[in-house]
Structure 1
C-alpha cells in the first residue's frame, strides 16, 4: 500500500480505493464505481488508474467502471524481486483473478463486459478478452498494439535506445525520468501541474519504479525481447474478437506508438470504428477528452449487449 507521502491531492479522482489480495499475498488496488454493465479499464506504462478518471466520471451513472492498478504500479503493492519473466503474462493472470473475485464475491456479471485498454494495457487486457471472448461484448483500444510492430511503424530511435536494459534501468528505475517525461511528452497540451503531479506521484520513489523499467524492456521490437513471444500468441488469438464491436481512439502525435499502427488496427479489424485525433498525443484521453469521452459513451450506449 502507498505510504502517506505517496498520496497527494488527485484532481478529479474522488473514487473509493478497493483492494484485492491475490493468492501469493500481493495486494492490488482498483476502483469500482457505478452500477450496470461492467467496463474494465486497463492502463499502461507509466500510468495508473488515474488516467481513467474522466471516463469513469462519464460512464459511472450507467456502467460499472472497474479500473485496476497493475501489480507493481500505481497504488498497488510492488512486486517482490525478481520480477516475473514475462511481466505482461503475469498481469493477465492477475487480471483474470481480479475479475473472478468480482464475479464470485462482488456481484459483477459473468458476461457483458467491455474492455478498454491503453498502451501495455492492450496486450494484457486483450489477451484476457481473447481467452474470455464469450464474456466480452465490446472492446475499446487507445494507442496500444497487440501485434508486433510493422517495419514502417517501429518506435523512434530514442525509444529503441531507451529499450536497452542498462538505459531503461537508469532512466525508468533509478531516476523518475520516464514517469515525468511521459507526463510531459505524452501530451500535446501540457497537463496542469496538479494533474501532472498526480500522474507521477506513485513513482516518486525508486523502490516503486521497477515495473516501469521492465515494461520498457519487454516491448517487442526484436525477437529476443520477452514481449515478442507473447504478442505472437495474442496475434493468433485475435480472430476471437472478429465479431466483437470495437472502437479505436488514436492520438496521431504519439511519439512512440505512431500513426501507422492505427492503420494496422483498421486492417486487422475492418469492422472497427477508428477515430484519429490529429492533435492528440499518447495520452489521447487527456488531449482529446472533449471528443473521445462522449464517443466512447455513445459507442457503449448504442452497441449494447449481444445476448
Structure 2
C-alpha cells in the first residue's frame, strides 16, 4: 500500500488469514482506514481458550504427514472446496481456487501458513497477534460491517461473538446457510448490503 502511494482513505475488507494481516495494518495506520468489512476471520487469540480444530493441528504439528498431504496431494486446498462452503461451488470457481497451487513448490505457502498459527509465545507470529489483540479497540470509531457464515468449523460463532463484544456498534449479518466461504454462498445478499454500507459511510 505504501508502494501504491494511495492518498484516499481505504475500505478494508478481510477474510480468514487476512483478518490478522489487515487489522495489523489498520492498527498501525488507523488514519488511513475509512471503513472495515469483516468476513469469517479473527484478529485476536481464540476466544475462551478455544483449541485449534484437529484437522489443522494435524497439519500444523505432524510434519511428515503434513508435507505429503499438503505439498504432494494438495489436500488442504482441495478439502476447502467442500468443507468451506455450504451450498457448493461451481466447477469454474473450484478450478480458480486451486489454480495457484498447481505444484509442490506453489503449495509451500499453504503449509507454512497453517504451521504459523500461533498457539504459544514460542511461535513466531505470537507477538503480532498479541499486539493486534490488545490494540483492536483503537479501531472502534471506524464504521464496521460483519458478514458471517454460521457453518465454519474453524471460525465458528464464538469468534463472531468476540467481534461483537469488541465492536458492539458493528452492523452484523449472519447467514445460517453459509460456510467459511460466506461470499461464495451468499454473494447476491452480501453485494446489496455492501453497496448500502458504502453509501451510508461515504469516503
Contact 2:35/2:142 (8 A) holds in 1: yes
Native 8 Å contact 1:155 1:258 kept in 2: no
- Asked if 1:286 corresponds to 2:188, the answer is no
Alignment RMSD (CA, Å):
1.6
Q: Conserved in 1, the CA contact under 8 Å of 2:150 and 2:179? A: yes
Q: Secondary structure at the match of 1:252?
A: strand
Tell me, yes or no, if the aligned pair for 1:140 and 1:247 is still in contact at 8 Å. yes
SS in 2 for 1:182: helix
Give the deviation of 1:225 after TM superposition: 3.0
Q: Output one character per residue of 1:174-223: Cα deviation in whole Å (capped at 9) or x when no partner.
A: 32111111122110111111210111011011111111111101112344
- Which of the two has greater helix per residue? 2
Please list, as runs of the form range in 1=range in 2, the aligned pairs for 1:131-146 lying within 5 A after superposition: 131-146=28-43
Instruction: Write out aligned runs for 1:221-240 (5 A).
Output: 221-240=119-138
Q: TM-score, normalised by structure 1?
A: 0.62
Task: Give the structure, 1 or 2, with the largest relative contact order (CA under 8 Å, sep 6 or more).
Answer: 2
CA 1:229/1:174 → structure 2, altered by over 3 Å: closer, same or farther? farther
1:128 to 25, 35, 39: 25
Map of 1:72 onto structure 2? none
Separation (CA, whole Å) in 1 of partners of 2:124 and 2:196: 37
What pairs with 1:290-305 in structure 2 (closer than 5 Å)? 290-305=188-203
Q: Count the aligned residue pairs.
A: 202
Residues 14-163 of structure 1: pairs in structure 2 closer than 5 A: 99-103=1-5, 108=6, 110-151=7-48, 153-163=50-60
* TM-score scaled by length of structure 2: 0.93
Q: What is the rounded CA distance, in whole Å, between the counterparts of 1:256 and 1:279 in structure 2?
A: 16
Indicate whether 1:204 and 2:102 are aligned: yes
